[in-house]
């Protein structure tokens, strides 16, 4: 390590026999080079982006491996297990909570070279390796006339394995569901290096569903190497609808009525007043009000019926297709935390879920709690995912703290997590737990956290799989 480069504490050196074994196995697809170690020392977690800006990295891995098949993943994991070396599965690195940060040193296993896809049109099932890029998978399916229906905002920079591991959800979730609704089967490499395959079936009644053990497991129970997913045919018709309401509550209530009648618009997004101004400032009628954008899609008969239900139930002023077209065009454009940080601005988003009965109280209390943190410039939200039972609120905040930015950041998270739990919500709707939320997971799960810990210890007796992630 030269003294002129960024400052970092090197991950501890791996034993020479481990280095030799993995170099023999992977050749150039195994690295202990400084540039690779620094590249894999962070993800999209704003705290870790601060490290990049400061050029100071508290945690770096000891090595990075790029396997090309399940056998190679098994060999890496077996070697690590045999030597009690931590292993961190890495997909796109788009996680926003530090889930891939190698806090105990060890080997980062980047799965992006595992990207084969096979479509079974008769069963409407696609089999894909875990490292396949999300956009690539969706484009492949589209070219055959299908869609997964899973379109997260990070689709260009995330992988199938990352989606499964974080229990991700996409913009079209109100119709197609979250990733957990799509996974029919999977293959995973367990902490000691054996592989297990849970094959795809339309449904099974063969004991607890072990597939679910890995969905949302964030790399702490094993490495997902392959999955089988449901596919849908590309929609025949797409209807774009938008409404302006006087209050946030009124708009949410309209959506609740639509879902209660069984209609499932693919996309529904309701923006509070601040976010309506921010995202839809070009639509005069929406100024000072609440914007809702809706996409209904599918077979034309079904889409027609769902459109009718939306039009019957939404009490607000119809604004036509333009706001939805604007949303469709801009939906992947994001301001990154790293753009604001050099200006001294701390910026992040927090997503939580809550049942309808407490939705407005959670929204109001959380915005108020974040605004009350000294240094906050703004706190706002939109409702981004809907269920007959409740809703996901996606909060955005920014602040210019006087003192330590990290302290301000953690104070806001503390206020948000506490308020969510006090209002009966869940502290994460789709980003997962990672390292940022780990101290609050116990509060949400209560005694069930010990059950999770027991599962972790039973599967990973040496604690080699992503140690520290999720507080495990």
Interface residue list for ligand FAD (CB under 6 A) = 43-44, 88-96, 99-100, 111, 130, 152-154, 158-159, 161-163, 165-166, 168-170, 218-219, 223-224, 334, 430-432, 466, 469
Residue number with CB closer to ligand FAD (314 or 347): 347
Nearest approach in angstroms of CB 12 to ligand FAD is 20
Question: Nearest-CA neighbor of 341 among 128, 72, 125, 48?
Answer: 48
Q: Which residue is nearest to ligand FAD (CB)?
A: 162
Residue number with CB closer to ligand FAD (198 or 286): 198
- Please state, in angstroms and rounded to a whole number, the distance separating the CA atoms of residues 202 and 186: 13
Residue number with CB closer to ligand FAD (97 or 244): 97
Nearest approach in angstroms of CB 203 to ligand FAD is 24
What sign does the dihedral 389-470-382-178 (CA atoms) show?
Answer: negative
Q: Residues with Cβ < 8 Å from 145, sequence gap 6 or more? A: 233, 234
Nearest approach in angstroms of CB 376 to ligand FAD is 22
Nearest approach in angstroms of CB 315 to ligand FAD is 28
Nearest approach in angstroms of CB 64 to ligand FAD is 13
Q: Residues with Cβ < 8 Å from 2, sequence gap 6 or more? A: none
Please state, as a whole number, how many other Cβ atoms lie within 10 Å of the Cβ of residue 458. Answer: 9
Alpha-helical (H) ranges within 155-247 are 160-166, 173-176, 211-214
- Please state, in angstroms and rounded to a whole number, the distance separating the CA atoms of residues 209 and 191: 19
Let me know how many helices (H) and strands (E) the chain has, helices first: 17, 20
Nearest approach in angstroms of CB 140 to ligand FAD is 17
Q: Which residues, listed in sequence order, are joined to residue 393 by a DSSP beta bridge?
A: 352, 383
Mind spelling out the 3-state secondary structure of 329-375? HHCCCCCCHHHHHHHCCEEEEEEEEEEHHHHHHHHHHHHHHHHCCCC
Nearest approach in angstroms of CB 286 to ligand FAD is 23
State how beta strands 232-233 and 146-147 pair.
antiparallel
Q: Which residues, listed in sequence order, are joined to residue 391 by a DSSP beta bridge?
A: 354, 386
Residue number with CB closer to ligand FAD (156 or 281): 156
Residue number with CB closer to ligand FAD (169 or 276): 169
Residue number with CB closer to ligand FAD (223 or 244): 223
Nearest approach in angstroms of CB 267 to ligand FAD is 12
What sign does the dihedral 427-429-431-434 (CA atoms) show?
Answer: positive
Residue number with CB closer to ligand FAD (182 or 309): 182
Nearest approach in angstroms of CB 217 to ligand FAD is 7
DSSP for 210-230, written as a single string? THHHHTT-TTSS-EEEEEEEE
Residue number with CB closer to ligand FAD (297 or 351): 351
Nearest approach in angstroms of CB 292 to ligand FAD is 18
To 5 degrees, how large is the angle CA 454–CA 458–CA 463? 95
Nearest approach in angstroms of CB 65 to ligand FAD is 13
Name the one residue in this structure whose structure tokens are 């999977």. 186
- Please state, in angstroms and rounded to a whole number, the distance separating the CA atoms of residues 184 and 339: 39
Residue number with CB closer to ligand FAD (37 or 309): 37
Residue number with CB closer to ligand FAD (225 or 365): 225
Helix axes 359-371, 248-260, angle to 10 degrees: 150
Residue number with CB closer to ligand FAD (197 or 357): 197
Mind spelling out the 3-state secondary structure of 95-107? CCCCCCCCCCCCE
């Amino acid at each position: 390590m030269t003294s002129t480069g960024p400052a970092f504490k090197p991950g501890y050196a791996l034993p020479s026999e481990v280095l030799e074994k993995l170099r023999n196995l992977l050749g150039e697809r195994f690295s202990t080079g400084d540039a690779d170690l620094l590249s894999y020392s962070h993800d999209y977690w704003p705290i870790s982006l601060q490290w990049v800006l400061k050029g100071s990295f508290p945690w770096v891995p000891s090595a990075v491996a790029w396997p090309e098949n399940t056998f190679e993943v098994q060999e890496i994991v077996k070697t690590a297990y045999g030597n009690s070396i931590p292993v961190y599965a890495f997909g796109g690195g788009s996680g926003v909570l530090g889930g891939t940060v190698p806090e105990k040193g060890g080997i980062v296993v980047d799965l992006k070279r595992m990207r084969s896809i096979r479509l079974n049109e008769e069963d409407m099932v696609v089999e894909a390796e875990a490292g396949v890029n999300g956009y690539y998978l969706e484009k492949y399916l589209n070219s055959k006339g299908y869609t997964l229906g899973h379109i997260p905002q990070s689709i260009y920079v995330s992988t199938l394995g990352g989606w499964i591991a974080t229990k991700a959800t996409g913009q079209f979730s109100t119709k197609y569901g979250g990733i957990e609704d799509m996974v029919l089967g999977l293959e995973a490499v367990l902490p000691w290096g054996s592989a297990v395959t849970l094959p795809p079936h339309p449904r099974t009644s063969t004991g607890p569903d072990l597939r679910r053990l890995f969905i949302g497991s964030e790399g702490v129970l094993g490495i997902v190497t392959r999955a089988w997913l449901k596919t849908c045919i590309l929609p025949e018709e797409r209807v774009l609808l938008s409404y302006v309401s006087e209050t946030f509550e009124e708009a949410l209530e309209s959506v609740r009525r639509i879902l209660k009648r069984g209609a499932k618009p693919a996309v529904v997004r309701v923006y509070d007043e601040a976010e309506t101004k921010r995202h839809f400032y070009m639509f005069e009628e929406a100024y000072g009000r609440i914007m809702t954008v809706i996409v209904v899609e599918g077979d034309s008969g079904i889409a027609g019926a769902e459109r009718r239900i939306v039009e019957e139930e939404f009490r607000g002023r119809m604004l036509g297709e333009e706001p939805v077209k604007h949303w469709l065009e801009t939906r992947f454009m994001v301001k990154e935390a790293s753009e604001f940080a050099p200006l001294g601005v701390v910026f992040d988003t927090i997503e939580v879920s809550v049942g309808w009965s407490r939705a407005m109280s959670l929204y109001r209390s959380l915005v108020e709690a974040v605004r009350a943190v000294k240094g906050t410039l703004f706190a706002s939200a939109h409702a981004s995912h809907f269920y007959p039972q409740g809703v996901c609120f996606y909060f955005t905040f920014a602040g210019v703290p006087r003192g330590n930015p990290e302290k301000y950041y953690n104070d806001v998270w503390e206020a948000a997590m506490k308020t969510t739990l006090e209002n009966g919500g869940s502290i994460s709707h789709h980003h997962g737990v990672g390292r940022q939320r780990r101290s609050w997971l116990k509060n949400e799960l209560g005694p069930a956290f010990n059950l999770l810990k027991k599962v972790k210890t039973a599967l990973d007796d040496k604690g080699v799989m992503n140690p520290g992630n999720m507080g495990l």
